[in-house]
Amino acid sequence: MSNPIRIAILGYGNLGRGVELAVRANEDMKLVAFFTRRDPASLKTNTPGVPVYHMDQLLEKKDEIDVLMLCGGSAKDLPVQSVEYAKYFNIVDSFDTHAKIPEHFAACDKSAAEGGKIALISVGWDPGMFSLQRLLGNCILPNGSDYTFWGKGVSQGHSDAIRRIDGVADAKQYTIPVDDALLRVRAGENPVLTTREKHIRECFVVAEDGADLARIETEIKTMPNYFADYDTIVHFISAEELALDHAGIPHGGFVMRSGVTGLNGETQQMIEYSLKLGSNPEFTASVLVCYARAAYRMNARGESGCKTVFDVPPALLSPKSGEELRKNLL
Amino acid sequence: MSNPIRIAILGYGNLGRGVELAVRANEDMKLVAFFTRRDPASLKTNTPGVPVYHMDQLLEKKDEIDVLMLCGGSAKDLPVQSVEYAKYFNIVDSFDTHAKIPEHFAACDKSAAEGGKIALISVGWDPGMFSLQRLLGNCILPNGSDYTFWGKGVSQGHSDAIRRIDGVADAKQYTIPVDDALLRVRAGENPVLTTREKHIRECFVVAEDGADLARIETEIKTMPNYFADYDTIVHFISAEELALDHAGIPHGGFVMRSGVTGLNGETQQMIEYSLKLGSNPEFTASVLVCYARAAYRMNARGESGCKTVFDVPPALLSPKSGEELRKNLL
């Protein structure tokens, strides 16, 4: 490609690393810089040719970047960074605190509109692809019910919650959809499911030497919000086992729309979308990167302000021309 | 709703009937007219209050219609009707002859652009929702393979082919995806599958009295293009059994994108979309109707020309505001 889309990454954790790799898989893009709040010299990336700068230098590099990928966390980083940088850059973020999306949208919209840039927020798989499937399902089958199941996969928030318990050295928590619930939804039963009926929580815990295992198990299982409303399974394992068998960050899930059509709602219709992800951050990053292409193109044709996956014409996600897409994928 | 979108239907077969019912499920729309090439007095619709006109009267009613739903066939009706009426109406069609889509697009684009209207073509589930999922899968996982399976469901074309055989009174053909193939794809094997390995064809045939069943079975199983490349199962049943057990028009299928991410493609990622449809035409109609909303809105904001599902920002499909969508579905 003669004029690749110039991508920069802010934040080099799992997601930033995923974006770095995803950019390589797209020939019309070029990774031009990493930015970090750490000492740039300390950052060892997988792309040695690409410079690492301190984030204080971001504005200096403004004209060399087409889209800035914000790879920080939703709790503290993105509410500040997305809003601030949308003034100067087309940005893509993966803000995933569902309840705060309207607020985040409003702040980013103001900032991006001011700067004449595109801020594409809450991109990834949930929010992101799952949201898109929920929207499509609702539009196609207005008479129906939505179901979203997550897993099997690692919940970082739940793993962290276990790690904060006294006597816990390390932990990993898997969210697992309950098979019976999936089957009932697929059968068109439209069940009303409790929290407990939808997901199981399975925990692999490394205890500190001499810790009271029974107390730890009780503290996990009774923890409000995180575990109390679920059937929770706790396994105590060694640090070696945790490192060997639970090093990955798999995830996935299901979005289902069960609806009816017909003269009197007599016809069952079922839409199901599912993901089985070997790596949650690598997949999320892959979604972010194709939406970066769309952000760049929307801005290039004069649009600005905050957008979500709901606002992006799908063809803008692809490096292929409309003609190629209609010929080969339609 | 104070200003509902005014929908008209041209062609009152299974799809037209489906559109009629789907419009009822959407409060922001109103069915204003049926058009038919038959004698209007002979048409018995499910909505007695809505007038039926001969299609020759279409242009007279131009100003009373926001979107014209073309519910004819892809072989003979749509190549003529979509192109002709896109000059005067926003239209939605379900043109599904994949190989001829580029040609149909070009003709509709010229016509719709001339008339300042939107022609939204090839809407439904394949082409349509399946196409959209193929596009998304390709964009997110550029390193991967596409799989589309159809069924279990009735193939009208294959049923018709059997009916043309001498000695056949009636027939219904089901396309069935091969379980083992689905499992291999889901396991991330990226198999190269032959036609025979992907789908089975199961036929329920009513023979005429005294017909040579063995000859009919052989003619079916050896029919080029339709059956010769498949494992085909033939059952002879009575007309009563056909009417009782095979009256519906179910369908469905699977779109899968199996891909890899990571430093050296070491991470497996799997996206799967599936439909289980009690009625193929009612589902297709439900998709057409939400795209009618989008066609109307795109035209209202000044766009014209031919579009496909690839060009439509998903939010335009929904009667809800952007704010509501972000709050409840993102």
Count CB atoms within 10 A of the CB of residue B301. 8
* Report field, pTM of the whole predicted structure over 0.90: yes
User: pLDDT digits over A89-143, tens only?
Assistant: 999 999 999 999 999 999 999 999 999 999 999 999 999 999 999 999 999 999 9
Q: Which pair of tokens denotes residue B22?
A: 């789907």
Average pLDDT, chain B: 97
> In angstroms, what CA-CA distances link B301 with A255, B5, B8, B311, B316?
32, 15, 21, 15, 11
Suggest the residue from B29, B140, B143 to mutate for an interface test with chain A (most A CBs closer than 10 A): B140
Total number of residues shown for chain A = 330
* Burial of B238: CB neighbours in 10 Å, binned 0-12, 13-18, 19+: exposed
Sequence-distant (≥ 6) Cβ neighbours of residue A244 within 8 angstroms: none
Sign of the Cα pseudo-torsion (A112, A321, A15, A127, in order): positive
The reported pLDDT for the residue numbered A1 is 58
A106 Cβ under 8 Å from any chain B Cβ: no
Cα distance from B293 to chain A (closest Cα, Å)? 10
Kindly state the percentage of chain B with pLDDT values over 90. 98
User: pLDDT digits over B174-218, tens only?
Assistant: 999 999 999 999 999 999 999 999 999 999 999 999 999 999 999
ipTM score:
0.96
Per-residue DSSP letters for A74-86? TTTTHHHHHHHHT
Q: Are A120 and A294 in contact (CB under 8 A)?
A: yes
> Taking the mean position of all CA atoms in its chain, how far away is CA B200?
21
| Residue B308 with chain A: CB contacts under 8 Å | 326, 330
Segments of chain A scoring below 50 in pLDDT? none
Helix (H, G, I), strand (E, B) or coil at A252: strand
Strand order in the sheet with A67-70: A52-54, A29-36, A5-10, A67-70, A90-93, A118-120, A305-307
The reported pLDDT for the residue numbered A121 is 98
User: pLDDT digits over B106-151, tens only?
Assistant: 999 999 999 999 999 999 999 999 999 999 999 999 999 999 999 9
Q: Which long-range contacts (CB under 8 A, 24 or more apart) does B241-247 make?
A: B241/B204, B242/B170, B242/B171, B242/B172, B242/B204, B242/B206, B245/B204, B246/B154, B246/B172, B246/B204
Contact (CB<8Å) B127/A330: yes
A190 Cβ under 8 Å from any chain B Cβ: no
Window A:57-86, CB contacts with B under 8 Å: none
B122, B141, B275 ranked by CB distance to A271: nearest: B275
Decide if pLDDT at B166 tops 80: yes
Rg (Cα) of chain A, in Å, rounded?
Answer: 22
Interface contacts (A, B; CB < 8 Å)? 206
Suggest the residue from B126, B131, B326 to mutate for an interface test with chain A (most A CBs closer than 10 A): B326
Contact (CB<8Å) B261/A271: no
Suggest the residue from A95, A326, A328 to mutate for an interface test with chain B (most B CBs closer than 10 A): A326
The torsion angle over the Cα atoms of residues A280, A286, A288 and A290, rounded to 10 degrees, is -160
CA-based nearest residue to B269, from A277, A284, A286, A289: A277
* Burial of B211: CB neighbours in 10 Å, binned 0-12, 13-18, 19+: middle
B143, B276, B314 ranked by CB distance to A136: nearest: B314
Confidence of residue B1 (pLDDT cuts 50, 70, 90): low
A129, A135, A330 ranked by CB distance to B329: nearest: A135
| Residue A269 with chain B: CB contacts under 8 Å | 275-279, 282-283, 286
Q: DSSP code of A38?
A: S
Window A:8-27, CB contacts with B under 8 Å: 18, 21-22, 25-26
The reported pLDDT for the residue numbered B2 is 72
Rounded CA-CA distance B18/B288 in Å is 10
Cα distance from B266 to chain A (closest Cα, Å)? 9
The reported pLDDT for the residue numbered B186 is 95
Window B:255-274, CB contacts with A under 8 Å: 261-263, 267-274
Q: DSSP code of B208?
A: P
Q: Which pair of tokens denotes residue B63?
A: 């100003």
Contact (CB<8Å) A311/B315: yes
Q: Which pair of tokens denotes residue A91?
A: 């940005």
